[in-house]
Homo-oligomer: A and B are copies of this chain.
Amino acid sequence: MRNAYNEDLRSISDQLVEMTRLAGSAIARASTALLDADLVLAESVITADHELDDARENLDNFAIDLLARQSPVATDLRTVVTAMRMSSDLERMGDLARHVAKVARLRYPASAVPPEMRATIVQMSQVASRIVAKAGSVIASRDLVEAAALEREDDAMDDLHRQLFAHLADPEFNLETQTAVDLTLVGRYYERFADHAVSVARRVTFLVTGDYDTVVDREDEEDAVLSS
């Protein structure tokens, strides 16, 4: 009985790692679609998002079933509840990747990203790909050093987000309003994507350390970007 239970907990972890893989694939493909104005790729991201939705629903049902069957307490209960929160973060990351793909589709055959903004968006997309890969690694390893490294990726994303806003407000660039609107949204999608990855890492840290203060929302730091 106890063995089957541990296998269930292991299965939950495996399902979460698989969700990070799906979210990572989505953001990488959406970024390429955005930067290359690739309609087929954009459509494929939009179509594939249901896989992450399904994965979340499956994981949540599995977790609720486990709660009902095993009535876990203490650490195990916390692990199951936290897993449902992580699945919510990961599903949302898929939605944000889909949003990026939708911007690409909306502006096709043009690119939503003008040449002078391209370098910033490329970097944001690279940080997004790295941070979701690290989230998967942190879930699998429960390594707090890796979890801390993931936070530094998010700091890099915040810097890039700040840089994006500075470019948008720079009269020298003289951007079309539509371009400014698109890039404001795209910037926010990448930033929120990274925030959810941080949230995943902090939930793992919380499970390992039991320190709830590690699960603070990313919003304060996000506000710092807007206020700078």
Q: Which residues from 100 to 125 on chain A have a C-beta closer than 8 Å to any C-beta of chain B? A: 102-103, 105-106
Contact status of A227 and B102, CB under 8 A, knowing A168-B177, A169-B181, A219-B95: yes
Measured CB to CB, the closest approach of chain B to A11, in angstroms, equals 18
Assess the A95–B217 pair: CB atoms within 8 A: yes
A interface secondary structure, majority: helix
A202 at the interface (CB under 8 A from B): no
Interface residue range, chain A: 35 or more
Closest to A218 in B: B95
**Which 6 residue pairs of A and B lie closest in terms of their CB atoms, listed nearest first?**
A71-B71, A184-B184, A68-B73, A177-B180, A181-B184, A95-B219
A188 near B: Cβ within 8 Å? yes
A81: CB under 8 A from chain B? yes
Whether A165 is near chain B, meaning CB under 8 Å from some CB there, is: yes
Q: Does A35 contact B (CB under 8 A)?
A: no
